[in-house]
Structure 1
């Protein structure tokens, strides 16, 4: 292999230290302008926008569920999405704000700092999005001075991996998510409602690890992103990677052929590689192989890059046998 940064031999690089690493090519994959939505996803997005309902997206990990929110915000000119990363301990209130009651109690006891409740409120994705739809004068007493916006704006809110949360999380959001409001009991307990003309656009992702309540599903527009067929996957790769990844490239066609063999039921892999892993793998293959037109014909290069594609020990052993057989078949046809 021609491309190495770390040699693992205990000897420092001869060049000046520390070594400067170039920007990761993966940053190119995350650019929202390079995202391609299939026609079904486009339709689901438009239905959700027209109805003013949250869009619930499912699909295999790595199929672009999270990136959809960034693509949507980019195309509509709404800035970066406000993201809520769901955890197994998440409660519904945390989607709107968190309140550090313990810190306030400690400060009250010490008596050394102002202890207004507002100083201990941290607004989260949907709460901040609702506040931003209001005229600044209407909500200035609810926001720290540094957070008061200049004009009302619409935001995209991403609730990522909602299926990680306890079942009560979705049940406790039913009215708030449908009517776009929340309350802060410690600050007057008044209903804070989004301006209907600037209602936040909500994108919710799920890996379907657990079922969501029927009442919650009724309030959403739903779409499952299917794993792309080979023609569409070639288009996605060419659009995301550009150089040496034309959809007609022999290298890309060979890579996709091997990739689908690894994903096939006959492969026996427990965790099949997804689109995101394919993109990372192709980047590494190109880096490791230098100027080689088709690095897939070099078993050592493919095996060296396998850690980006196959993620368990058992699957890697199975994948190596599949790759060896695939390379033999390819060399016979050349």
Structure 2
């Protein structure tokens, strides 16, 4: 397959259109079976499972907080996790369901009101997980036929980036998270509780952009994901990209050396590259340099891939200087060696 795909030459090859692009290799990075947790994370997870409490994960973006939930669900056989994307406007009810009052009002104005309030209710991750722990016959009045499960099951729920929510959000869901229940007010005021034997496993992530309430923290098992050391990061890379990089290869060693140079405090970068960006960078490096054994022998080409690692204009300028200096050091070392 020809690469690069886009050359900006103001011409196109009509007989080759539309261009066939490769399967996105980044999907390989998201396979839950390739996730490698550190021992502390495994211990914290097992404590949360034993106590039936939410597991709160913090750590810088890109360290695998969300991906851990997919690994957990895959290993324990609970299917794909149900994910709630926290927003700055999220309320406690949004965690369970949303009610589209505006659409219903518009339908009333247009004389096209549905006879079913259920048509205006959309269940969110935790609400759907709770409903799935009950027998279908017990919750059929709350779910449309297409969402009604065949048998009760346990689910893994991700509440992602909870620090984005208003501060009251955490306080408002304390009891619901501890006892795992909710009410659909539009369909009555009956409490819908999770089956204790199938209580959803709740994984909460935070980028620590703001502090969470103490009362909320007391109800969670907490773990901060540290950034991997060189040995751990090498293991993660070879586990995900074994077909692209060889363990302890010159390519991998050079990539890690430069990567940690960019992450060093003295680099001055405002947003330092993380593990997820490193993995994507390694994949594209070999494509940009023609799949040679060590792409770092072609520094002019890998400079063009920095946009994967560096995400601000200010950092781009700093990173370019760091890389150019690193190239000079590598060149001198190879000449002296």
- Alignment TM class, shorter chain as reference: over 0.9
1:261 match = 261
Structure 2 unaligned spans of 5+: none
Q: How does 1:312-323 map to 2 (within 5 A)?
A: 312-323=312-323
Deviation at 1:295, TM superposition (A): 1.1
**2-structure distance, mates of 1:192, 1:152:** 14
Any idea what SS the aligned residue of 1:20 has?
A: coil
**2-structure distance, mates of 1:291, 1:78:** 38
Q: How does 1:84-233 map to 2 (within 5 A)?
A: 84-233=84-233
- CA pair 35-84 structure 1, distance change in 2 beyond 3 A: same
The Cα offsets for residues 172-217 of structure 1, whole Å up to 9 and x where unpaired, read as 1000000000011121211100000000000011000011111111
**2-structure distance, mates of 1:3, 1:84:** 38
Deviation at 1:13, TM superposition (A): 3.2
2:297 match = 297
Deviation at 1:260, TM superposition (A): 0.4
1:278 match = 278
Q: How does 1:43-62 map to 2 (within 5 A)?
A: 43-62=43-62
CA contact (8 A) 1:104 1:115 kept: no
**1-structure distance, mates of 2:244, 2:21:** 22
The Cα offsets for residues 86-107 of structure 1, whole Å up to 9 and x where unpaired, read as 1111111011001112222333
Any idea what SS the aligned residue of 1:71 has?
A: helix
- CA pair 109-332 structure 1, distance change in 2 beyond 3 A: closer
Any idea what SS the aligned residue of 2:158 has?
A: strand
Structure 1 unaligned spans of 5+: none
Any idea what SS the aligned residue of 2:16 has?
A: coil
CA contact (8 A) 2:136 2:149 kept: yes
The Cα offsets for residues 274-333 of structure 1, whole Å up to 9 and x where unpaired, read as 111111111111101113221113221121111111111221222122212212222222
Structure 1 moving runs of 4+ over 4 Å: none
**2-structure distance, mates of 1:13, 1:208:** 50
Deviation at 1:14, TM superposition (A): 5.2
Deviation at 1:116, TM superposition (A): 2.2
Provide TM-score, normalisation by structure 2: 0.96
Any idea what SS the aligned residue of 1:202 has?
A: strand
2:325 match = 325
Provide TM-score, normalisation by structure 1: 0.96
Deviation at 1:109, TM superposition (A): 4.2
Report which stretch shifted further, 312-321 or 183-192: 312-321
CA contact (8 A) 1:3 1:289 kept: no
Any idea what SS the aligned residue of 1:247 has?
A: coil
Any idea what SS the aligned residue of 2:146 has?
A: helix
Any idea what SS the aligned residue of 1:204 has?
A: strand
- CA pair 182-297 structure 1, distance change in 2 beyond 3 A: same
CA contact (8 A) 1:157 1:201 kept: yes
CA contact (8 A) 2:244 2:283 kept: no
CA contact (8 A) 2:183 2:189 kept: yes
- CA pair 41-15 structure 1, distance change in 2 beyond 3 A: farther
